[in-house]
Chain A
Amino acid sequence: MRVLLVDDEKELVSTLAERFSLRDIEADWVTTGEAAIKSVASKTYDIAVLDVKMPKISGIELKKKLEEINPVLKYIFITGHGSEEDFMTASSELSAEYYLVKPVNIDDLIQKMKEILINPDKRDSLQHPL
């Protein structure tokens, strides 16, 4: 499973990536939307973990751009922001299964990633071999 972690909080994504590595999950991390687009364009990932609120390109916008590059990429959103607008935007476009609030438990996150890859939504029936 190849994972791309995108969050403007460098300390968070770098540490999370290291923890994934310790669990034999290949994880790259970037702190901007532009860097994420470049990464997805240059390398194939199975799943992207995106922060909802980031400078310049938000997580939701980034998802749309990444879908154009890699239509089979799966997504999990994490956010520390509790504003209603943010919640409304996220919940209207994403189902609750794709949405986690910080701080997240890594085991919960991995479990969620596995679920998404094994049981993709109706639009994508691709079964990922884990």
Chain B
Amino acid sequence: MIFFEKLKPKFWDYRDVAAGPFKHLFNFRRLWALAVALTSLVALIPLISITLIDYRVTQKSVESEVLLRTARLVSNTWRPVSFFLTERRSALDFVVRDNSYNSLRDPKRLSAILENLKQGFGGFVDLGVIDSTGRQKNYAGPYKLEGIDYSNQGWFKDVINKGVNVSDVFMGFRRTPHIIIAVRYDLPNASFYVLRATIDTDRFNELLAHLEVSGQGDSFLINKDGFLQTPSRDYGKVLDRIPLRVPAFSPKTRVYEEVYPDNKQLVIGYAYIHDTPFILMIVKQKNELMKPWQKTRFQLIGFLIASIAIIVFVVLSVATYLVNRILIADQKRIMTLHEVEYSNKMASIGRLAAGVAHEINNPLAVINEKIGLIKDLFTIKDEFKGNRKLIELVDSALSSVDRCGTITKRLLNFARHLDVKIQMVNIGEVIGDVLGFLSKEAEYRSIAVSINVSGDIPQFESDRGKLQQIFLNIVNNAFAAVKDGGSIDITAKREGADLISVTFTDDGCGIPGSDLERIFEPFFSTKTKQGGTGLGLSITYSLVQELGGILVVHSEVGRGSSFIVTIPLKMEKKEKKTDEGVAGR
């Protein structure tokens, strides 16, 4: 709160009391708020829009890149897996075409072929020749499987129908995971036989295990029922069912996203391997894949926040500066208007004083002469010379006429010097003229006014009218500040070779320190409820400046105030101000 008080701009608590019905036009706080709101909107909306669009575009781009990379990986992985199976199937195809049924039934020959296949291709575990009834007629391999009947096995039925079969991974008689590739060969006697090879799944596992999948990814094969054909890091061992749905068939590589109940977002790429029951799946954690995007996102959000902060700071600063300038300009304008008004008022007072003095002076002169004649008749003609009572009465009347004459002359003197002109000024006379108007008030209120003008002050060039106004304003303030019976001390003395100072000291109520800083500001008044405009001291300050001087105030609450006017003994002549014309001079 204290921080805000320090930062609070000038206009924040400003209320133009003189604005009257147009008060709403001078609500600077509202003007500031409007300027800040509009400028911020104009500046921030495009920035936020562009940033949001960029955010979305970049996010989409990164997501597309992630999907594309996954699809490429699936495609690249699919190829060797497919090639591995196709190669071995083609090898078996070649074997049945290159060898007669009888030669394949020869155990030595079959063992030789198996050995060749192991050496040439790898992955082959055993070979078996099965006749059309499903009975294994010859077997070469590590197990004792000769004579086994496969007629009820699914793969056997499938190979009869399709001519070739690649089986799921299964445990079978060997109790180890393996797959079977079987090819049918039709004999000329309308019979057939089947050459079946067992393929070691370790080769698959190795192929997929060595695959580097980013984003904590997992790559494995499943069959069409969703059972793992190769071990998975995340979803279990061979022949476990994966918790993911089996993707729909597609002849091409596909990638899709899926959210699972644990709120894990997955990017899943898959490809069906043709003529096999296998589906190659690569599963990646989306949040891991999007990590580069997170960095970009933080940079974007950081940029947005920094930009908003800078824009808001600039908008606030500019709006505050401009509204402050408007306030100052407005105050200057009002100040000028008030100065013109004040000047006009003083001119009117001058004209009024001169008019009144003239109208009174003529009858006063007649009274003066008539009473003078009476006195002449009494004194010169000796008729009533001895009647002292009459002489005293006449003298009393003449004394009153003289008093009236003094007042009208003082009025005339004051009015004459309201004009703006530089002339030789006697500072003591100016102070005396000003105090002449307040002497009765001082008498009624028992205010002791002392004047002490130093004898070394020469007559000097200055604007007597302005000096009168300055002194009158300060003395009026002093009279307002002191209580009945108080005292006002006026001291004029020389300050060096070129300056004189006039100090007005009162023992009045004093001015609080907080008000003291603002006492010369236009419109600062503690008497607004008593009709004060807050311009008296401000105008006085301006007048002192116009004379090339300075006005300083010292004050202590409860002990009184001192206003010190320091003015040069020689005034720089300036061009006549235009507002003097306005004032009707």
Give chain A's interface residues, CB within 8 Å of chain B: 9, 11-12, 15-16, 18-19, 22-23, 78, 80-84, 87, 101-106
Contacts and interface: CB of A to CB of B under 8 A. Distances in A.
Nearest to B358: A81
B416 A84 contact: yes
Given A84-B350, A104-B365, A18 B373 contact: yes
B74 to A, nearest CB: 106
Contact of A103 (B358, B364, B373): B364
B366 A82 contact: no
B373 A19 contact: yes
B261 to A, nearest CB: 101
A23 B381 CA distance: 11
Interface string B363-405: 0111111101100110011000000000000000000011011
Contacts of A11: 366, 369-370
Interface string B286-307: 0000000000000000000000
A1 B369 CA distance: 20
B381 A16 contact: no
B365 A12 contact: yes
Given A11-B366, A15-B366, A106-B372, A82 B381 contact: no
B365 A102 contact: yes
A82 B416 contact: yes
Contact of A23 (B358, B380, B405, B419): B380
Nearest to A87: B416
A13 to B, nearest CB: 9
A23 B372 CA distance: 12
Contacts of B372: 15, 19, 106
In the complex, which of the residues A11, A12, A19, A102 has the most CB atoms of chain B within 10 Å of its own CB atom? A102
B381 A103 contact: no
B415 interface: yes
B361 A15 contact: no
In the complex, which of the residues B364, B365, B409, B412 has the most CB atoms of chain A within 10 Å of its own CB atom? B365
B119 interface: no
B583 to A, nearest CB: 12
Contacts of B370: 11, 15
A68 B254 CA distance: 129
Nearest to B381: A22
A82 B354 contact: yes
B418 to A, nearest CB: 8
Interface in B133-171: none
A49 to B, nearest CB: 12
Nearest to B357: A82
A103 B411 CA distance: 14
B358 A82 contact: yes
A103 B376 contact: no
Contacts of A16: 369
Contacts of B357: 80, 82
B354 A103 contact: no
Interface bracket on B:
35 or more
Contacts of B405: 101-103
B582 to A, nearest CB: 17
A103 B365 contact: yes
In the complex, which of the residues A83, A87, A102, A103 has the most CB atoms of chain B within 10 Å of its own CB atom? A103
Contacts of B380: 22-23
B364 to A, nearest CB: 5
Given A103-B367, A104-B368, 16 more contacts: A9-B365, A12-B362, A15-B366, A15-B372, A78-B365, A80-B360, A80-B362, A80-B365, A82-B355, A82-B412, A84-B416, A101-B412, A102-B362, A102-B368, A103-B405, A106-B372
Contacts of B361: 80-82, 101-103
Contacts of A101: 361, 405, 409, 412
B354 to A, nearest CB: 4
A106 B418 CA distance: 30
B351 interface: yes
B353 interface: yes
In the complex, which of the residues A16, A18, A82, A87 has the most CB atoms of chain B within 10 Å of its own CB atom? A82
B408 interface: yes
Contacts of A81: 354, 358, 361
B188 to A, nearest CB: 149
B368 A103 contact: yes
A84 B354 contact: yes
Given A12-B365, A12-B369, A22-B380, A83 B401 contact: no
Contacts of A12: 362, 365-366, 369
Contacts of B381: 22
Nearest to A106: B372
29 contacts: A9-B362, A9-B365, A11-B366, A11-B369, A12-B366, A12-B369, A15-B370, A15-B373, A16-B369, A18-B373, A19-B369, A19-B376, A22-B381, A78-B365, A80-B360, A80-B361, A83-B351, A83-B355, A83-B358, A87-B412, A101-B405, A101-B409, A102-B368, A103-B364, A103-B404, A104-B368, A105-B402, A106-B369, A106-B372
